[in-house]
Amino acid sequence: MTIIDGKKISSDIQDEIAIEVKTIIANNGRIPHLAAVLVGNDGASETYVAAKVKACERVGFKSTLVRMPDTTTEQELLSKLKELNDDSHIDGYIVQSPLPKHIDEYKIIEAIAPEKDVDGFHPQSVGRMALNLPTYLPATPFGIVQLLERYKIETAGKHCVVLGRSHIVGSPMSILMARNNAYANCTVTLCHSKTANLKEFTLKADILIVALGKAEFVTAEMVKDGVVIIDVGITRVPSDKTKSGFRLLGDVKYDEVAPKCSFITPVPGGVGPMTIASLLLNTLKASRGEVYKK
Ligand code: NAP
């Protein structure tokens, strides 16, 4: 059984990007520039955005943090996005979610210029992904593809079962695994809360990608020997054994499931750290005009 070390792979990717940035600087090229829009002061969002800005610094990207109060109107946010769309110094940007309830998240996503949509959430990005055209892949699914690739996990002809159909993880993951690409070409089954006899499907999975948000949902009796497990779930549970007062659990009952696996991602340290690496890779692509010509 191999434990997939997402922390190491993310760090390797960031080191590789940092080398690319040094080359860009040596050639008097333009340094990639990522902007992040943070509306309100949600604690978790502050942490995520701070980590993204720090990662930009680490690899040598420029970054801009646009802070807006939680009283920001939808119109004010749309005007800010227009400024970012028109700003030729900014290669890509993200709007950190969740947004305050009075703002329609989909209206905001659609207002992001597709060529700057480094989160890969714009309908045009999703459509291009489905059509297997060059695009920005959403961060978490892109991170999972990177893990499969870096660990050279065989996927062609395998049965990949995805649990969960959210727009940010499960659905895009099912599309990516079915595409005619390296580290894809699977036969895919997408399961959700209305799936009958879920265990019948999980037991048939060669590759099981779990994105439910239900701590320790997948148990040893639900999987076959040799399965590859990608556990996306993150649930905080109270703990008196940690300084923070909580610990993180995945959607898979790790201790009993891991011995049956050929590969498994731990929580934390598996899929989670890959999100930032994906965002940086998308920003690099944007600055080079690899998806849309500059
Ligand atoms: P979500 O939007 O809540 O979607 C959960 C999905 O699970 C839904 O499609 C739901 O089905 C399905 N589901 C719920 N209970 C089920 C059951 N008993 N049987 C089968 N399917 C069931 O969640 P998400 O945003 O995809 O996130 C999933 C988990 O991944 C969360 O723990 C989240 O924190 C974590 N996450 C981690 C990262 C990372 O970087 N590691 C990134 C994103 C998310 P219905 O559609 O029928 O409701």
The set of residues, in sequence order, having a beta carbon less than 8 Å from that of 193 and lying 6+ positions away, is none
**What is the CA(28)–ligand 1 centre distance, in A?**
44
Contact 61, 24 (CB under 8 A): no
Is 96 known to be catalytic?
A: yes
* Chain segment 32-46, per-residue pLDDT in tens: 999 999 999 999 999
- Are β-strands 235-238 and 246-249 bridged in parallel, bridged antiparallel, or unpaired? antiparallel
The whole-angstrom separation of Cα 13 and Cα 143 is 11
Residue 293 clears pLDDT 90, i.e. is over it: no
Probe target for ligand 1 pocket from 192, 208, 216, 230, with the most ligand atoms within 8 Å of CB: 192
Mean pLDDT over 176-201 rounds to 98
* Chain segment 43-97, per-residue pLDDT in tens: 999 999 999 999 999 999 999 999 999 999 999 999 999 999 999 999 999 999 9
* Chain segment 1-19, per-residue pLDDT in tens: 999 999 999 999 999 999 9
As a whole number, the mean pLDDT across the chain is 97
Among 119, 206, 231, 251, the one annotated catalytic: 119
Comparing 118-122, 194-198, 231-235, 242-246, the range with the smallest average pLDDT is 242-246
- What is 26-113's CATH topology? Rossmann fold (3.40.50)
CA-to-CA dists, residue 223 to 153, 178, 212, 229, 230, angstroms: 18, 21, 16, 9, 13
* Ligand 1 first shell, C-beta below 6 A: 140, 163-166, 168-170, 191-195, 198, 211-214, 232-235, 271-272, 275
Give the gyration radius of the chain's Cα atoms. Answer: 19
- Are β-strands 2-3 and 62-68 bridged in parallel, bridged antiparallel, or unpaired? unpaired
Probe target for ligand 1 pocket from 146, 197, 229, 234, with the most ligand atoms within 8 Å of CB: 234
pLDDT at 294: 79
Contact 205, 260 (CB under 8 A): no
Mean pLDDT over 190-210 rounds to 98
One fold for 26-113 and 139-272: yes
pLDDT at 19: 98
Domains of the chain: which residue ranges?
26-113, 139-272
pLDDT at 137: 98
- Per-residue pLDDT band at 166 (split at 50, 70, 90): very high
The CATH superfamily of 139-272 is NAD(P)-binding Rossmann-like Domain (3.40.50.720)
Q: What is the residue with the minimal CA distance to atom 18 of ligand 1?
A: 193
- Per-residue pLDDT band at 130 (split at 50, 70, 90): very high
Structure tokens at 159: 């049965």
pTM score: 0.97
